[in-house]
Amino acid sequence: MGKTISEKILGAHSGGDATAGEIVVAELDYMMAQDGTAPIAIRSFEGMEGEKVARPDRVSFCIDHSAPSPLRAVSQLHALMREFAGKQGIELCDVGEGVCHQLMLEKGHALPGSLVIGADSHTCTYGAVNTFATGVGSTDLAAGMLSGSLWFRVPETMKVTVTGKLPKGVFAKDVALMMVGQITADGATYRTLEIGGETIEGLGLDGRLTVSNLAVEMGAKAGLMEADDKVIDFFKHRTGVKIEAVSADRDARYVEEFEFNVAGLVPQVALPHRVDNVRAVEEVEGAPIAEGLIGTCTNGRLEDLRLAAAVLERGKVAAGVRLIVAPSSREVMLNALREGIIEVFIESGASVMNPGCASCVGTHQGVPGDGENVISTANRNFKGRMGNPEASIYLASPATVAASCLEGKIADPRRYL
Amino acid sequence: MTWYPLPWEDKQKPETLKGSTMIIKGKAHRFGDDVNTDYIISGRHKFKTLDMDELACHVMEDLDPHFCERLQKGDFIVAGRNFGCGSSREQAPLAVKHAGVAGVIAGSFARIYFRNSINSGLPALVCDTSEIEDGDVLEVDLEKGLIRNVSKGTETASSPLPPVMLEILSEGGLVEYMKKHGGFSSF
């Protein structure tokens, strides 16, 4: 019987053969925690009576969720991270460097064929570059820091094939939201999604990362894709390590297979308060909005910013609307600056934040008011997510968010493209 | 090679929860499907503190603002499918545990939360919860994985945990487990 990508990567890291359903102890290639999870990981590490991190060269802490710190108490937690990282000799990505997931890619820490854990559920994003990457809690991360390994149940795999040419105004985020709507919030629980097909192959790396980012919104453990030249090129100058991408065998076993044709897809939006409550934008057009967010680990990359700018060039942010833009990393922000995109944002009336998570998690940089609607490129719209349980969050593509901000109400981006 | 079924897919006799002989009696607090970690403990509370007792006051706040007032030590949270979906925050099971909840019983759990719960030493039992109503008195035998609904006179067996999780839970959580073992042997 052939192997899935998950079986091959987990097998290669646990010294043998791995088959779905087995439990293996696997050596970790890289580990990451952010400012919402690293402090507990540090406490757990100390509780384990850990003294030295097993492989300091394989651990990174990122300060991105509440960065710069909006509160004295948060500043203390950031200080705890800096102190631990300094003492242990592990990498610390400080305020303003960017969203943890983008940094793990740009720094060449999450590589094709490698095994990565992150104390953040959207660690599954790196599946788009063929990394078996999965979110864990802080104490699992602490166990990884202490021993260099972690136990995994080898997941069953669901195969998702996406075909068809994307129509005008329809992007990777629309494909991802459609998938979440169809597969539902727990349709892939404990499983890996292997995502491929001509549409995925046609996407740039940024778009693929958006699709894998939403894997966890279907409950998936990982959202894996095969690595092609676009992936290999991305890492060319980012790592000295030889890239060894992993493909599934032709006779690999899949527990379920989905095929989606996107040739007739229209712009999608997830309605409050569920990510799988997905509709066509047309159905909710006209709903008033008070805030827009473009950025996050889902849609803060250069392709996303280009797309938003192409729409925003056509007008000004409507009166009474706040548009917040946060590039996903310093590299992305500098590239956007050089291309004149940041200028477009500022001239349209947007507030451009430092690279980081911005208002996605409700800790700073744009908490909505009572009764307000927000339209965001992020990946979660749970009640209270952005810091106010009396606000409602809609999720959409950067183009839809930009168009909605121009009109002050949910708008179809196709008239601006 | 040993195959471990997903906890909610296996209908075999539950394995013994080693080291734990407790039978806990408490009231069921009923929630629905897809209770995400933002609802269990909101991001606007968890980001600024490591004090789990402080977070405990805010458990389930956005779903039920008065939950903590009604909760008594040893009570159970009972939910439908996909409990704990969403973020990886370990503050979710930790705050639930610190609020005095004896365990969470659900139709299924999201995977990161499920690991975090066991790692935190908070029992997470998987069984069909459709018959359990808010306020039912439950008697849970952690050793046998049995859930007795005292109010309704029924009994349900929970699905067994894989051995590694049983070991972690019986040590009181992953911190204690790692303190003792330093790492994972093969299973």
- Residues B120, A44 contacting (CB under 8 angstroms): no
In a domain, B165, yes or no: no
pLDDT value of residue B143:
78
pLDDT value of residue B19:
45
In a domain, A335, yes or no: yes
A19 and A168 belong to one structural domain: yes
In a domain, A417, yes or no: no
In a domain, B58, yes or no: yes
In a domain, A51, yes or no: yes
Q: Residues A125-150: pLDDT tens digits?
A: 999 999 999 999 999 999 999 999 99
CB distance from B4 to chain A under 8 Å? yes
Q: How far is B177 from chain A (nearest CA, A)?
A: 8
For chain A, the domain total comes to 2
Rounded CA-CA distance B22/A261 in Å is 53
Q: Residues A180-220: pLDDT tens digits?
A: 999 999 999 999 999 999 999 999 999 999 999 999 999 99
Chain B, residues 35-54, CB within 8 A of chain A, namely 36, 38-39, 42-44, 46-50
In a domain, A354, yes or no: yes
Residue A123 with chain B: CB contacts under 8 Å: 88
Query: Are the Cβ atoms of B4 and A380 closer than 8 angstroms?
Result: no
Chain B, residues 115-144, CB within 8 A of chain A, namely 115-116, 119-120
For chain B, the domain total comes to 1
Question: In chain A, which residue's Cα lies nearest the Cα of B117?
Answer: A137
pLDDT value of residue B186:
63
A212 and A275 belong to one structural domain: no
Task: Report whether pLDDT(B5) > 70.
Answer: no
A64 and A31 belong to one structural domain: yes
Residue B163 with chain A: CB contacts under 8 Å: 23
Residue A140 with chain B: CB contacts under 8 Å: 115-116, 119, 174
In a domain, B176, yes or no: no
Q: Residues B42-73: pLDDT tens digits?
A: 999 988 999 999 999 999 999 999 999 999 99
Residue B174 with chain A: CB contacts under 8 Å: 44, 139-140, 142-143
Q: A314 is in which domain, residue-wise?
A: 270-412
Query: Are the Cβ atoms of A151 and B174 closer than 8 angstroms?
Result: no
Q: Residues A146-179: pLDDT tens digits?
A: 999 999 999 999 999 999 999 999 999 999 999 9
Q: How far is A361 from chain B (nearest CA, A)?
A: 6
Among A259, A289, A304, the domain-final residue is A259
Q: Nearest-5° angle of CA A105, CA A108, CA A110? A: 60
Tell me the pLDDT of chain B averaged across its residues.
89
Q: How far is A122 from chain B (nearest CA, A)?
A: 8
Beta carbons within 10 angstroms of residue A253's beta carbon: 16
Query: With bands split at pLDDT 50, 70 and 90, how would you rate the model's confidence at B120?
Result: very high
- Residues A123, A133 contacting (CB under 8 angstroms): yes
CB distance from B1 to chain A under 8 Å? yes
In a domain, A265, yes or no: no
pLDDT value of residue A341:
98
Phi-psi sector, A408: left (phi>0), alpha (psi -120 to 50), beta = left
In a domain, B152, yes or no: no
Query: Are the Cβ atoms of A48 and B50 closer than 8 angstroms?
Result: no
In a domain, A264, yes or no: no
In the three-class reduction of DSSP (H, G, I as helix; E, B as strand; rest coil), residue B94 is classed as: helix
CATH number at residue A405: 3.30.499.10
In a domain, B159, yes or no: no
Question: In chain B, which residue's Cα lies nearest the Cα of A390?
Answer: B62
pLDDT value of residue A31:
98
Amino acid of residue B102: A
Q: Nearest-5° angle of CA B26, CA B162, CA B75? A: 10
Angstrom CA distances, B1 to A22, A24, B172, stand at: 7, 10, 28
Q: B119 is in which domain, residue-wise?
A: 25-139
CATH number at residue B95: 3.20.19.10
Residue B186 with chain A: CB contacts under 8 Å: 24-25
- What value of ipTM does the predicted structure carry? 0.95
Give per-residue burial for A167-197: e unless 16+ CB within 10 Å, then b.
eebbbbbbbbbbbbbebbbbbbbbbbbbbbb
In a domain, B147, yes or no: no
